[in-house]
Every structure is written in C-alpha cells, then in structure tokens.
Structure 1
Amino acid sequence: MPEGHTIHRLAAAYGERFGGGDPVRARSPQGKFADGAALVDGQPLIAAEAHGKHLFLGFTGVGWVHVHLGLYGKVAFGDGPAPAPVGQVRLRLATAEHWADLRGPARCALVTDAEKRAVTDRLGPDPLRAGEPGQDAERAWPRVTGRRVAIAELLLDQRVIAGPGNIYRAEVLFRRGIDPHRPGRGLTRREWDGIWDDLVALMREGVRAGRIDTVRPEHTPEAMGRPPRQDEHGGEVYVYRRAGAPCHVCGTPVRTAVLAARNLFWCPVCQPR
C-alpha cells in the first residue's frame, strides 16, 4: 500500500496538471464511477489535497472525489491527447494538455464537505501537514501513551498518526533506537516527539525525492563502500526487508517477525528491549 508521501505527491501532480481553472473532462471507462464522473465532467478542479493515505479532489459545485488507493490502486499521468483507455480505468480526468487514469482503488466516491471532514476527523495528525492546526505530536500523544499496544502497531494505526506505513514505521523506530515491541505507554514524551520529528523530516524528503531514503549520510553506500540497495521499493534503508542481512550500524543480522499481520523488521542490538 502506498505510504503518505506518495499520496501527497499525487495531490500535487493532480493540482499541477488540472488546477488551472479550465473545465476538466471526466469519465469512468470501467463504469463503476460513471454517475460520479458525469457530475464532475466539465467542472474545474479547485483543490487537490492529501491527508495521510487519503486523496481528495475538489470540483466546483460537485464536492470532492475521495480516493483511497488501498493495496492495488495506481494512478498514471500522461500528456494529451489522451489515448484509448487500457485496462480497468475507474476514473479518467483529461484536458487538452494532460490526462490521468485511476485504476484499482479501494475507494473512489463523491463526498460532501461534511463527509470529507468526517474522514479526516477520524485520522490522526499527518506529519506532512505539520504546522497546520492540530497536525502535531501533541494531538497523537494521548492515543499513544495510554495504550498497551506495541508502538510498531500503533504507528500503522491511521487513527493515531496518518500516513506512515510499514517502511516508515520500521525505519523510524530503528533511527530512534526503540524496540518495536515496546508498548505505547512505555514511551517517554521525548521519545514520541523524536519519532514525530523524524517522520516529518523523512516523509518530506520522500515527497521531494519520490522514494523512501532513511539512512544517515555516514551509512549511505558511498560512505560505507557497499553496493546500493536492490529492491523494487527503492531507497536506502536500515532494516526494512533486510531480514538476515547485517545491520549497517552494528553488523548484527536484522530480525523479522509478524506483528498485527504485517512483517516487522528490527535490529536487536540497536533497538534493545
């Protein structure tokens, strides 16, 4: 499932291509969003926003197209004129200059302003919206400190903090030296603030670079004289999907386990119990 930085990049991409005030053509070649596309068709895009893993596209007089990519959703962009749709395209937006095809989302629905607020109100603060009212470590802290649940599980709970997924949670816990099995109520406020600040910095870099890089300068391939990571997810990381490989810091084999139905990765030395 795409992590929050990807959704923020998508919001920016939609805004850049379709946010000029011109009418946008909309259709649902697949047919599952035909009624919604008919209402959007011919309206200008007035806003493109992301909150955590949720994308919202606002259209004059219509409301918002709420998109959650889920496990299989993808968006493809191209320059006009738009070619014939290929595959199961849920929603195509197009102008003379650009087109965008949405395929396989878990959700694609028209919602009102109130329904949009109901979605975002259920979510925790988004590190990529840090600086906005309520988008800070303070808001999430009560949802962390009173829980017996492992911090690694809490970091995937979008009601606690919106946007991070399996990669960011594994990497930020390594960078802060925190055992992923430690319960939320076992964290100090200083540790939680460190996690939040790290996520803000790492996810902003993810938006900029379009990939997840979490290693510090002294642990890059160039600095260590090691080969670059070869993985479909890209990016240089400490522990994610490196089970059995030596830790970049201490050399101990990285461990893995399943926690809350998701693969967890950590270094038992750098993240002691």
Structure 2
Amino acid sequence: MPEGHTLHRLARLHRRRYAGSVVRVSSPQGRFAASAVDGRLFERAEAHGKHLLHVYGPDATVHVHLGLYGGFTESPHPVTEPVGQVRMRVVGPTHWTDLRGPTRCEVLTDDEVAALHARLGPDPLRRDAKPDLAWAKVSGSRQSIAVLLMDQSVLAGVGNVYRAEVLFRHGLNPYVPGRGLDKALWDDMWLDLVVLMRAGVKVGRIDTVRPEHLPEVTGRAPREDRHGGEVYVYRRTGQPCLLCGTPVAAAELAGRNLYWCPRCQPAR
C-alpha cells in the first residue's frame, strides 16, 4: 500500500496540472458518480495520510484511497480511449489522469470531509499537523510503538517502511509500549519523519540511510528491491545490519511484517 509521501506527491502533481481549471470528470467503468463534479472548477488537491482529496468547492470533494491495488496513470494530451477498468478520468487543459483499482473513490460533502480529517491522526507532511495529538495517544497506550505508528488514527501516512526505518534510526525496539517512550524521543522521531517523508515527496521513493552508510561510502552493494531506495532493515530479513552486522530480524505483528535489528534495537 502506498505510504503518505506518495499521496502528497500526487496531490502536488494534480494541483500543478488542474488547480484553477474547469475539468471534465468521467467514470468509464461506471462505478463512480462523476456527474457530481464533471465540468466544475478544480480548486485544489491535498492529502491527509494515505487519503487524496480533489476539492471542487462547496460540498463536492472527491476522496480517493488507493488501498493495495489502486493507482493513477498520468498522460499529456491528446486523450485516448480508456484501457482497462478506469474508475475515474480527469481531463484538464494539458493533461489527463486515469484512476484504476482504488479501495475508495467517492464524492464527499464538506461535513464528510471534516469527519474524515477528524478520524485521522496528524500527518507529518501537513503544515497544520499537531504532533502533540499523536503523543497524547501514544503516551497513554499499552500497545507497542510498532502498532501505534501504523494506526492511522494515531499518526496518518506512516506505513510499514517508514515505521521500520524510524524505529531503527532511533534505536527503539518495536515492542516497547507507547507509554514507555519519553517525550523527547517522540519529538525526535516526529521531526525525523517530517524530514524523511518530505524527501520521499521530492524524489518519489523512500530513502532512510544516512550519508555515511550509503553504498558509495561503505563499499557495500546497492540495495536491489522492487521498492527502491536505501533502507536499514525493511525487507532485509537475515541480512547483516548496516551498522553492527547482526542479522536483521523479522516477525508478524498485527497482520503486518515487522523488521528490526536485535542489537541496535534491544528489548528494554
């Protein structure tokens, strides 16, 4: 599932191509009520966590959640016939966008958009984010920090990659309960997520390895993985830790794979 930086990257792209223009919106597949926004002014695009919002004005915001299989394709004019199951097509002055396979694609009222924002935790990529709201939930919870970081009502936009990597970068064992963290550590982790996720928006991939640990500095082979980017522990089960050489451990937690270094992130 795409992590938050991907949705913010899409929002930035769609703002650049469509904001301030009247667009044509259709649903070649027929499973989206495109008539509610077709021919209207595309005001702006924004993201909150893993949710993308195309805002058309009063009581008309298209909400997209890509889920596991959703994806956008972006093309310049001329517009061609739809290929495959296109849930939503947006056609602007110079480009057009097709959406396929999302978990959600729906038109929301302003009240429904407000309710969506209210049930999501603060997003490190949003300027209006309030990290203390997440800290209030983390600090009072017996759940592990690994579970809490993936709970979108606690913190929006963090997925499995950012979770594994921020825990490693701060030497925190994933099974430590939320109430076992101190505020200073949480503040450091939040700021680190802001920096890492902003970099993800900029380059379109997740890189979490510090400059001194990159392949060109250490002489190790570059990472080869379909997810791309240089990481410390994510999907590196059994491989040596880039810092201490201990084999990276893996387990399943709350239905998701978990990765950590037993030496660099010891149990307390």
Shorter-chain TM-score category?
over 0.9
Q: Shift in Å at residue 194 of structure 1?
A: 1.3
- Secondary structure of the 1:169 match is helix
> What is the aligned counterpart of 1:218 among 194, 198, 212?
212
Cα distance in 2 for residues equivalent to 1:78 and 1:231:
27
- Residue 12 (structure 1) aligned with residue 9 (structure 2): no
What is the CA distance between 1:191 and its match in structure 2? 1.3
Indicate yes or no: 2:107 matched with 1:110: yes
What is the CA distance between 1:49 and its match in structure 2? 0.7
Letter in 1 for 2:164: A
- 1:123-134 matches, within 5 Å, as 123-130=120-127, 132=128
SS at match of 1:264: strand
Q: Is the 8 A contact 1:73 1:102 kept in 2?
A: yes
Confirm or deny: 8 A CA contact 1:143 1:160 kept in the other structure.
yes
In 1, the alpha carbon distance for the partners of 2:55 and 2:247 equals 48
Gaps of 5+ in 2: none
Equivalence map 1:23-102=2 (5 Å): 23-33=22-32, 36-60=33-57, 63-102=60-99
CA contact under 8 A between 1:40 and 1:62: conserved in structure 2? Answer: no
Query: Could you say what secondary structure the match of 2:16 adopts?
Result: helix
Q: Paired residues, what number?
A: 267
From 148, 153, 158, give the equivalent of 1:159: 153
Taking only aligned residues, the RMSD between alpha carbons, in angstroms, comes to 1.0
Q: Indicate the SS of the match to 1:129.
A: coil
1:96 deviation in Å?
A: 4.1
Q: Does structure 2 retain, via aligned residues, the 8 Å contact 1:45–1:58? A: yes
Q: Structure 1 length normalisation: TM-score?
A: 0.96
Q: Normalization by structure 2: what TM-score?
A: 0.98
Q: 2:232 aligns with which of 202, 227, 238?
A: 238
Task: Name the amino acid aligned to 1:16.
Answer: R
The alpha carbon displacement at 1:32 in A equals: 0.2
Of all paired residues, the percent bearing the same amino acid is 59
Contact persistence 1:39–1:62 (CA under 8 A): no
How many Å apart are 1:95 and its aligned residue?
A: 2.4
CA shift digits 1:122-180 (9 cap, x unpaired): 111000014x2xx1321111100111111000000001000000000000000000000
The runs of at least 4 consecutive aligned structure 1 residues that moved more than 4 Å come to none
Tell whether 2:8 aligns with 1:3: no
User: Could you tell me which amino acid in structure 1 is paired with residue 122 of structure 2?
Assistant: P
Per-residue deviation, 1:107: 0.4
